[in-house]
Amino acid sequence: MATTISILSQKGGTGKTTTTRTLADIFARLGLAVLAVDADPQGNLSDYFDVSPDASPTLAEVLAGQVLATEAIHNGVIPANLQLAESELILAGKIGREVTMRNALREVKRDYDIVLIDCPPTLGLLTVNALVASDQAILSTEAQYFSLQGVEQAMEIFNLARDSLNPDLDLLGIVLNIANMRTRHARGARESLRSRFPDKLFNSVIRQSIAYAESAERAIPILDLKPERGQDYIDLASEVLTRLRRKDLLAALERLRQDRVPASVRR
C-alpha cells in the first residue's frame, strides 16, 4: 500500500507544484512506483507531466464516481483541468464529501509505493479531501515576511482534517521554497519558522531560480534540464526518505546525486 503525501500551501506561487513534480521524478529514479495526483483545477502539475489539456478522464470524473482512478492515469499522473472546480462545487452538496478522494484512491494505491497529491493553492474542500486521503503532508512556503502566517493558516486546515477525519495524518515537514538566503529578510523568515516549528522545518532550502519555471514550461524534469539545480531537491528527498523511515534508499539517492549533479556544485 502506498504512502500518500499531500503537498500544500496557503497560496499560489510557493513552488508547491515544482516540489511535487521533482520529488515524483526523484523517487521514480530510485525505483519506486510513483503516482502523482493533480488536485488543482489550474492543472499545472498535469502540464508539468506533459499531459494534453484534452486528456480524459481526469480527477474530476474520478471524484464524480464516473470512472476508476486506474482509468484516469496519464503518463504517471491523474490530471486535472478547470472541470475539477465544478466538481468541487458538486462535492460540497454531498454527504461524506470530505472522504470522496480517499475512497476513490483506495484501490489504485495498492499498485504504488508513493502517491503525491498536488493540492490547490486554496484551503478549501479539495485540499481537505487530499489531506483526508493522505498519510503525510508537506507544507511549501516562501521565504517571505508573511510565511509564518501562511503556514499557520494551512495548519488550521491540516488540524481540521486530522482531528475530524484522519487521526493518522502526520505533518512530514515544512519546506522553504523560492528562497534567496543571501537576504536578511529570507533568513529572518526561516528563523521565525524554525522557532515556531522546530522539529518540522526541513533543513533543505529550495533556492530561487528561473530554471524551475523553464523546467515546468518545457515539461522536462529539473535533473534533466538543469541538473545543477537538482541539488536542493535531492537534499529534500533525502530528508523526506529519512522521515519516512526509508533509509534503505539513501545509498541509491547518493548515487543519483553523483550521476546527475555536477561535481562543482555537489554538497
pLDDT in tens, 166-215: 999 999 999 999 887 778 887 888 888 899 999 999 999 999 889 998 99
pLDDT for position 183: 85
- Residue 15: name the closest of 201, 119, 140 by CA: 140
How many angstroms separate the CA atoms of 176 and 87, rounded? Answer: 31
Q: What percent of the chain has pLDDT over 90?
A: 75
92 or 152, greater pLDDT: 152
Band (pLDDT 50/70/90 cuts) for residue 93 is confident
pLDDT for position 188: 84
Band (pLDDT 50/70/90 cuts) for residue 248 is very high
Average pLDDT over residues 16-21: 95
Average pLDDT over residues 232-256: 97
| List of residues 6+ apart from 130 with CB closer than 8 A | 6, 8, 37, 39, 101, 117, 119
- DSSP assignment letter at 152: H
pLDDT for position 95: 75
Task: Say whether pLDDT at 146 is over 80.
Answer: no
Q: How many helices (H) and strands (E) does the chain have?
A: 12, 7
Tens digit of pLDDT for each residue in 27-79?
999 999 999 999 999 999 999 999 999 999 999 999 999 999 999 999 999 99
| Domain covering 3-204 assigned CATH 3.40.640.10 in the classification | no
Band (pLDDT 50/70/90 cuts) for residue 97 is very high
Band (pLDDT 50/70/90 cuts) for residue 10 is confident
Question: Of the given ranges (19-33, 40-54, 82-96, 212-226), which has the lowest mean pLDDT?
Answer: 82-96
Task: Say whether pLDDT at 145 is over 90.
Answer: no
Q: What is the mean pLDDT of the chain?
A: 92
Beta pairing, strands 201-207 & 136-142: unpaired
pLDDT for position 148: 76
Contact 59/80 with Cβ under 8 angstroms? yes
Check: pTM over 0.85? Answer yes or no: yes
The residues that bridge with 77 in the sheet, in sequence order, are 36, 74
Average pLDDT over residues 2-15: 89
